[in-house]
Structures are given as C-alpha cells and as structure tokens.
Amino acid sequence: MKVLLDETIPEGLAERMSGFNVLVARRMGMVGKSQGAVLREVEDSAFDVVVTADRRMKFPGSNPYPRFGIVVLDILPATEEGYLEQMDRIRSAILGSKPGVVSTVRWPR
C-alpha cells in the first residue's frame, strides 16, 4: 500500500510503519502547497491513502471518483509519541481505508 504522510504528521512516523510504502510530504516538496494541489499530486502519483492530522481535509469537488482514501488522526497528544502509542489503530485504519472515504482515528474518544 502506498501511503503519504502529509506535512501535519511527524516524519519519524514513516520509519515505524513497516509493511507500507510510506512517503513523506516534506521530503517530496509538498510543504506549503494548497490542499487541492497536494490531493491532485496524490491522485497522479497513485497513492492509496493520505494520512493527515488536518480535520478539514476533504476530497476536492472536481473529482467525484477519487482513487485514494484519507485517514485523519485526531489523536492527543498530537506528537510522534502520541501517534506511536496508537499505531495499531492507525495501521488498522490505513488497511481498512477505501477510495473516496475519509476515516478518522480518535484518541481519547
């Protein structure tokens, strides 16, 4: 599965996500790009999932049939350590993601 960690997610998480082909937005020159530009690049680069902490992330209206899913991490604390503590839940959300669907991992509930 090809996964993009957007600029809101700590880069160090990528090394802890074995079993996925994880790329980091910061390393791909996507920092500061608009949400629409990032999602177009995600579509063009054939990513399966975008992982973000941006609760406002949504699919652009210009594409009614996106080929990737979005997983929003609404986890506190929103730090690398906080995310690592919930890695099993994050992995499950990524594996269960579906094209065109935004799913959210919340902790604490």
Q: What is the pLDDT of residue 60?
A: 76
Name the residue type at position 25: A
Domain of residue 26 covers 2-107
- Taking the C-alpha atoms of residue 40 and residue 43, their distance in angstroms, rounded to an integer, is 5
Per-residue pLDDT, 109 = 72
pLDDT, position 32: 92
DSSP state of 18: T
Do 87 and 16 contact (CB within 8 A), yes or no?
A: yes
Specify the pLDDT at position 64.
76
The CATH number that applies at residue 66 is 3.40.50
List, in order, residues 6 or more apart from 13 with CB less than 8 Å away.
Answer: 5, 80, 83, 84
Q: What pLDDT digit, counting tens, does each position of 18-73 carry? A: 999 999 999 999 999 999 899 999 999 999 999 999 999 988 777 778 999 999 99
How many structural domains does the chain have? 1
For residue 90, give the nearest of 37, 78, 99, 30 by alpha carbon: 78
Model pLDDT for residues 42-57, shown as the tens digit of each residue: 999 999 999 999 999 9
- Please write the tens of the pLDDT for every residue from 4-23: 999 999 999 999 999 999 99
70-102 tens-digit pLDDT:
999 999 999 999 999 999 999 999 999 999 999
